[in-house]
Structure 1
Amino acid sequence: MNVNQRQRKLIKKYLLGDITDQERQEVILLISDPGNKNLFDDVMDELIPDLLPEKNTEQDELNDKLLAFKTRYAIPMSEQEIRTGFPKKWGPYIAAAAVLIMVSFGLLFHLDNGSENQKKLAQKGHQIVPGSDKALLTLADGSTIALSDAKSGKLADQFGVHVEKTAAGEIVYHSESQAAVRSLAFNKVSTPKGGQYRIILPDGSKAWLNAASSLSYPTRFDQRERRVKMTGEVYFEVAKLKRPHSHEALPFVVETDKQMIQVLGTQFNINAYQDEPTIRTTLVEGSVRVTSSLNGASVLLKPGQESLLSDKLSVHTADIQQQLAWKNGEFVFKGEDLDKMLKQLARWYDLEINCPSQYSKIKFTGIISRSIPLSSIVDMIESTKEVKIKIAGRRLTVSD
């Protein structure tokens, strides 16, 4: 298979939604190059018969298909566009094809790093780049290490526990033996706005920290339970371990300021930002028990469920794609209020937001890569004609 055939195959997989995370990143880089525009459009032409609805498709079904299509290709849609819909009949297929090809142009325009975008960036001032892998590690003695600046290899030795940074940038903990650990010490990893990081905890569990988040944990877990404390948003993949000399599972406990989550071995996400009205715990695999620190209320989650904690604790069906989008390098918005959408952007691009209340409930739908510059997202929002965006330094202001 030559290079061109492979590229065409990857674009097809992307458009049909059958693609791995690694392939997705490859396609994003591919279609970011304006020189590949014709290749992308050729593949679109081949797929039009599969993507188009039948001529007699009812209006509601047609609107659903177009909404799903635009969402997949990161095309922003305002609530007005969702309400208004599209013509009742497709008419000739060639007309419909023109609509879809315009949609594909939109994707290329928004991801394009070409000369036209550069002109816009020059007019808007300095470019605000997306966040990256950066965090601060606070050791037991209070000293700190900037992880993005640290070289791979041993970072510290704390009471018999070695802290290392791998070539892949992960933080890992090693101890020669339980007897070699001379004292219990606690570490803390903190990400700033515009940062994210992944660590491997002393028990082998993995944790991904979103922007403006923190995770505190012992350098060695005791034999009764594994307990950590967090703020912000963290995704966990918990290692399944047994208590010593027992068949009982070794509990893993996550504390936030308002709840406690007890797990045995599972994958889940916790969103506990202080500026959010609820704490959201989303379960991907296994089981977790969520207990409110406010009133003692407790729920047991099943895979595909999430709990919401505000004044009370409730259980709902989770949108896994949306809740884990940040970990997969995307923003996923589905009828999202503008103020909530901007709150996510603020954490990742390190912004201050000024969104007057009259604009806060305008709704947007789309999937956007977290790897593109802020200017591209501003273009997407403004293309809906709902609002205008002004950026001064790191302050983003919404107006009409």
Structure 2
Amino acid sequence: MNANEFSDLLQRYRLGTCSSAEKEWIEGWYNERRNDIYNPLREEEEDMVGERIYSNVQAVLSSAPAEKVIPIWRSKRMWWVAAGTMMLMATAGYFLVTRKDPVPVIVQTPKPETRPVMPGGNKALLTLGDGSVIVLDSAANGALSLQGKTIVLKKQDGQLVYQSQHNGNQDAVAWNAISTPRGGQYQVVLPDGTKVWLNAVSSLRFPAGFTGKERVVELTGEAYFEVNHNNLPFIVEIISATGRPGGGKVKVLGTHFNIKAYLDESLIKTTLLEGSVDMTSTQSHYVLKPGQQAQLHKNGIMSLDEHADVEEAVAWKDGRFVFNEASVETVMREIARWYDVEIVYAGKVPDEKLEGEIPRNSNITEVFKILELSNVHCKIEGRKITVLP
């Protein structure tokens, strides 16, 4: 590289037109040259480059805001200080420079990396009877705790299992809670052998050992139950917006059913797959048959859908979104919970009704490509999704 080429390279750096490789080379050269470690030019070439750079520096300073500026000394072997000043001006305005003060080292701050929005997975928190919390997705497999006479185990497949070590009732039972965040799901086997799948943004509170004449648990959000049959009724108390039971009660002996009871939904839906379910509220009561769905409104009135779309209700457990005449807002709430994103609407909410199936392990970009086929268009900015009118 000769003097002219080197000077032109510095000029392109100031104007921001050099390549990333050239920019990296210049900054590396400058940080070394300020300590007289490295210089690619002979002395006569330095004088030539210095003349060109000095005139450029003066042009930069004359265009800067009127402030008190200590001039750069125009002397032999000082052109590289001017070059450094020009580079600093290109990245941070300009600095006041003298021969006595050291030139600051250029520090590049890397831009924050934007992570792609990925689907959810097995994530949950387990709160034990003493208030201690275990992060299940990072906890080691094996025994996690002893709750009374019940051992809490994390299996290799991520399943949480409560193994009761007693025959008959316990005198004192600790209550535990498992909760999933946005973008989380988990499966737990209760002390009686009942299997529960928790969807995202859901919580199940239960005793570490069932006592008395009933098996009672408390639910917020959505869960699928496969209740182990025995002579004790299994009761799911649905938590209301007040944070206490009051969102309805499901009573069974041994059966498979799904409860969707999110606080941001207008209905609480209990869908029966097999067996029998007794669904009650403060004002209504239904005994469900397989294929039926009880829909509890916020005003306490309950209705019965005798031909419910069972596949749509439980598809999430099998790793799918299934929509049948679903509104855009309904679909976006599902996406927000599973992908942990914020949904906003730019204007009027589209009135399209959506039908179809989407794998829950899909990248969110793929999800919106599918939705575009139904004329629903979105803009993705990090974790913010804007639904366009």
1:336-351 correspondence to structure 2 within 5 Å: 336-351=326-341
1:41-190 matches, cutoff 5 A: 126-178=115-167, 181=170, 183-190=172-179
Structure 1 window deviating more from structure 2 (156-165 vs 204-213): it is 156-165
Where do residues 299-314 of structure 1 align in structure 2 (5 Å cutoff)? 299-310=286-297, 311=299, 312-314=301-303
Q: In the TM superposition, what whole-angstrom CA distance separates every residue of 1:102-159 from its partner, at most 9, and x where no partner exists?
A: xxxxxxxxxxxxxxxxxxxxxxx64211000110000000000011111111000122
Alpha-carbon offset, residue 362 of structure 1: 1.6
Deviation string, structure 1 residues 21-50 (Cα, Å, up to 9, x no partner): xxxxxxxxxxxxxxxxxxxxxxxxxxxxxx
> Residue 343 of structure 2: SS of its match in structure 1?
strand
User: 3-state DSSP class of the match of 1:274?
Assistant: coil
More helix by share: 1
The answer to whether structure 1 residue 380 and structure 2 residue 362 are counterparts is no
Aligned partners of 1:161 and 1:182: how far apart in 2?
13
Structure 2 distance, partners of 1:335, 1:158, is 45
Measure how far apart 1:175 and its partner are. Answer: 2.9
TM-score (norm 1): 0.64
Corresponding position of 2:214: 225
Aligned position for 2:319? 329
In structure 2, the partner of 1:57 is: none
* Structure ID, larger Rg: 2
- What residue is the counterpart of 2:278 in the other structure? 289
How many Å apart are 1:363 and its aligned residue?
1.7
- How far, CA to CA, are the matches of 1:367 and 1:281 in structure 2? 21
Residues in 1 aligned to 2:123 and 2:271: alpha-carbon distance in whole angstroms: 25
Task: Determine the structure 1 residue equivalent to 2:77.
Answer: none
Question: Among the aligned pairs, what percent are the same residue?
Answer: 44
Structure 1 CA distance for aligned equivalents of residues 169 and 349 of structure 2: 59
Correspondence 1:262 to 2:251: yes
Output aligned runs, 1:239-254, within 5 Å.
Answer: 239-242=228-231, 250-254=232-236
Aligned partners of 2:347 and 2:235: how far apart in 1?
Answer: 39
Match of 1:354 in 2: 344
What are the ranges of 5 or more consecutive residues in structure 1 without an aligned counterpart? 1-124, 243-249
Q: Tell me the amino acid that sits aligned with residue 370 of structure 1.
A: R
Deviation string for 1:186-238 (max 9, x for gaps)?
Answer: 00000001000000000000000000000000000014010000000000000
Q: Is the 8 A contact 1:160 1:180 kept in 2?
A: no
Work out whether 1:206 is the aligned partner of 2:195.
yes
Across the two proteins, how many residue pairs are aligned to each other?
267
Single out whichever of 356-365 and 387-396 deviates more from structure 2.
356-365
Identify the residue that residue 371 of structure 1 maps to in structure 2: 361
Q: CA, structure 1 residues 197+172, in 2 after alignment: closer, same or farther (shift >3 Å)?
A: same
Q: Which runs of 4+ in 1 moved over 3 A?
A: 178-182
* Structure with more contact order per residue of length (Cα contacts < 8 Å, sep ≥ 6): 1
1:225-254 superposed Cα distances (whole Å, 9 cap, x missing partner): 100000000000000012xxxxxxx10000
TM-aligned CA distance change 1:273 to 1:360, over 3 Å: farther
Cα deviation for residue 335 of structure 1 reads 2.1
Say whether the 8 Å CA contact 1:160–1:182 is kept in structure 2. Answer: no
Structure 1 residue identity aligned to 2:147: Q
